[in-house]
Chain A
Amino acid sequence: EIVLTQSPGTLSLSPGERATLSCRASQSVSSSSLAWYQQKPGQAPRLLIYGASSRGTGIPDRFSGSGSGTDFTLTISRLEPEDFAVYYCQQHGGSPQFTFGPGTKVDIK
């Protein structure tokens, strides 16, 4: 089983600042199989990034993804008030077919 680790657990930032979130896999994964989601309280996760670097439908360009192999990054260039949420990375393939990281909470400093 591929295990995903996310860091930091919590990121305290102010609106307008840049957020850099890390996702590390226990073994190399295909970039095409790495995705990021945003989840706000009481809501379902929303797909932000697929294929490690492609934005989902309607996702603002302040969100970007990068990385390969075992290290992947989600960057929010300038935090807007609506971006304070929990972010999960996810990989597809192997067993189980989908695994998620534990999440990074981005909260207001």
Chain B
Amino acid sequence: QVQLQESGPGLVKPSETLSLTCTVSGGSISSYYWSWIRQPPGKGLEWIGYIYYSGSTNYNPSLKSRVTISVDTSKNQFSLKLNSVTAADTAVYYCAGNLLSSSSLDYWGQGSLVTVSS
């Protein structure tokens, strides 16, 4: 059973860069697409982007100019960087995975709350 765990700072200052890492266990990182999704407090879900183990990425156009997703296959981890953050980026950030043949997000991490505040 694939398990995902997010890690990273819970507080980021405005204009700085939000950085999170997701550690994958129980499955091969090469068998899935790996996504980041966020959810502002009390609101809905927004897909940020995904990466394949080869390094190919696909980002949400609404965030593309500020987002970088990378993968480290040796550590079974993938990471999110979101730069120039504002209070509007305050959210619970989830990592998730879907099989190459799947159109649904089959596995989710528990989520990591990131607050943007000075």
- Which chain A residues have a beta carbon within 8 Å of chain B's beta carbons? 32-35, 37, 43-47, 50-51, 56, 88, 90-93, 95-103
Contacts and interface: CB of A to CB of B under 8 A. Distances in A.
B2 to A, nearest CB: 11
Greatest chain A CB density within 10 A among B37, B47, B105, B111 is at B105
B26 interface: no
Interface residues of B, number: 22
A100 B106 contact: no
B44 A88 contact: yes
Interface of B: 35, 37, 44-47, 50, 58-62, 94, 102-106, 108-111
Contacts of A44: 94, 108-111
B62 A98 contact: no
Contacts of A33: 103
Contacts of B59: 96
Most buried by B among A37, A44, A46, A100: A44
A96 B47 contact: yes
Most chain B Cβ neighbours within 10 Å, of A46, A90, A96, A98: A98
Contacts of B110: 43-44
Contact of A100 (B44, B62, B102): B44
Nearest to A34: B103
A103 B94 contact: no
Contact of B106 (A47, A88, A98, A103): A47
Given A100-B45, A102-B44, A46 B104 contact: no
A98 B105 contact: yes
A56 B58 CA distance: 25
B104 A45 contact: no
B106 A92 contact: no
A33 B102 CA distance: 8
B103 A92 contact: yes
Nearest to A98: B47
Contact of B103 (A45, A88, A93, A100): A93
Nearest to A86: B44
Contacts of B103: 32-35, 50-51, 91-93
